[in-house]
């Protein structure tokens, strides 16, 4: 009888874990990709996803993952790339993959349905060793190393673009410029901007990835 009860309890626990994982969807994008990276899978103790490629210039399609905690690894031969932990609430996520210290990637998880990250907004992620300061339109921002922030810019010119100034903080009241440009205003995209140390390690570069979303009514 005791064995039967333990079997029932184990079965309920297993079903509960499956229930929690049901419907989980993740899209991926990488700041940089190792050369020749093959297809990858999301693997838990009980299950492994279908194999897929990680993009860097756009978000991937949505892939079902087996659990809220899984290991992103190469499909064959198996090599762990990053551990990913999804929040307890929500079923639709975006995982930003940035270079890790002890692993190939470090996973930054965002809820795709985050109402604070709206069409026309920018998500700035600073993986460099410097403090980034900037001005998008009339909206100022500052990101310390490792920080990420949603920026909802104001002050677009002719409702078409923003004047953008970006720099590296250099002292209390000064900054070394890294870019002066114009970013288009779009009501149909959310944009992810990665800041990172360049190859020389002496300066900071950045790049942007757009996500196309429905225009707000």
DSSP letter for each residue of 79-124 = -EEEEEE--SS-SEEEEEEEE-SSSSEEEEEEETT-TTS-TT-EEE
Residue 162 · residue 156 · CB < 8 Å? yes
Q: Is residue 35 situated within a structural domain?
A: yes
Same domain, 129 and 183: yes
Per-residue pLDDT of the chain (217 residues; tens, 9 = 90+): 555 444 444 454 444 445 456 799 999 999 999 999 999 999 999 999 999 999 999 999 999 999 999 999 999 999 999 999 999 999 999 999 999 999 999 999 999 999 999 999 999 999 999 999 999 999 999 999 999 999 999 999 988 999 999 999 988 778 999 999 999 999 999 999 999 998 777 789 999 999 999 998 7
Overall domain count for the chain: 2
Q: Is residue 160 situated within a structural domain?
A: yes
Q: Is residue 15 situated within a structural domain?
A: no
Residue 190 · residue 117 · CB < 8 Å? yes
- Cite the DSSP H helix spans in the chain: 2-21
The β-bridge relationship of strands 92-99 and 25-30 is: parallel
Which residues constitute the domain of residue 35? 23-111
Residue 97 · residue 29 · CB < 8 Å? yes
Same domain, 30 and 96: yes
Tell whether omega for the bond before 82 is within 30 degrees of 0, i.e. cis: no
Same domain, 103 and 128: no
Last residue of one domain, picked from the residues 77, 111, 145:
111
């Amino acid at each position: 009888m005791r064995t039967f009860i333990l079997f029932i309890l184990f079965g309920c626990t297993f079903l509960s874990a499956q229930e929690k994982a049901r419907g989980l969807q993740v899209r991926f994008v990488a700041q940089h990709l190792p050369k020749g990276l093959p297809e990858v899978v999301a693997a838990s103790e009980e299950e492994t996803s279908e194999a897929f490629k990680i993009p860097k210039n756009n978000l991937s399609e949505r892939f079902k993952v087996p659990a809220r905690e899984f290991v992103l690894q190469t499909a064959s031969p198996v090599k762990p790339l990053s551990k990913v932990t999804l929040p307890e609430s929500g079923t639709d996520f975006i995982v930003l993959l940035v270079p890790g210290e002890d692993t190939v990637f470090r996973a930054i998880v965002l809820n795709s349905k985050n109402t604070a990250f709206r069409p026309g907004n920018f998500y700035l992620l600073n993986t460099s060793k410097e403090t980034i300061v900037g001005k998008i339109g009339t909206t100022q921002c500052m990101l310390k190393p490792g920080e990420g922030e949603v920026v909802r810019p104001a002050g677009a010119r002719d409702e078409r673009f923003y004047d953008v100034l970006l720099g590296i903080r250099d002292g209390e009241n000064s900054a070394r410029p890294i870019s002066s440009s114009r970013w288009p205003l779009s009501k149909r995209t959310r944009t992810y901007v990665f800041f990172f140390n360049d190859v020389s390690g002496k300066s900071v570069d950045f790049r942007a990835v757009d996500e196309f979303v429905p225009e707000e009514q």
